[in-house]
Amino acid sequence: MALKKQFSSFEEMLSTSTVPILVDFYATWCGPCQMMSPILEQVGTQMRNRLQIVKIDTDKYPGIASKYGIQSLPTLVLFKKGQPVEKIEGAMQASQLMQQLNLLV
C-alpha cells in the first residue's frame, strides 16, 4: 500500500529505509498514472514485507523528477540503499510489475 508520509528530504527517506523503495512518479492529470494506482496498491499489499511504495507528484516536486531523469509518466524507479537500480516507464498489469520486481527485490 502506498502511504502518505511527510519527510524532511527525499534522499534521507531513501537512505534510511530498510527495504527497497519503489517510487511512483505521477501527475494528477495523467490517465495512465490513475490506472496504475490500484495496481500499485495490489503490488504493495503482496510485497509489503519486501518493498515500500512511495508516490511523488511531479507537479509538486519537479526537482526530484528532474534529478532522476523522469521524462514520461507514469515512471516507477526502484531504489535500493538510496540508489536507483531500475526504471520502469509506462502503465502495466500487476502481474507484469510483480514479475519484474520479484527479480529485483
- Is residue 89 flagged as an active site residue? no
Cell numbers for 82: 538510496
Q: Which of 13, 14, 21, 30 is catalytic?
A: 30
Q: Which of 23, 33, 43, 65 is catalytic?
A: 33
Cell numbers for 1: 500500500
- Is residue 5 flagged as an active site residue? no
Q: Which of 91, 94, 20 is nearest to 54 (CA)?
A: 20
| Distance between CA atoms of residues 40 and 19, nearest Å | 16
Residues with catalytic function: 30, 33
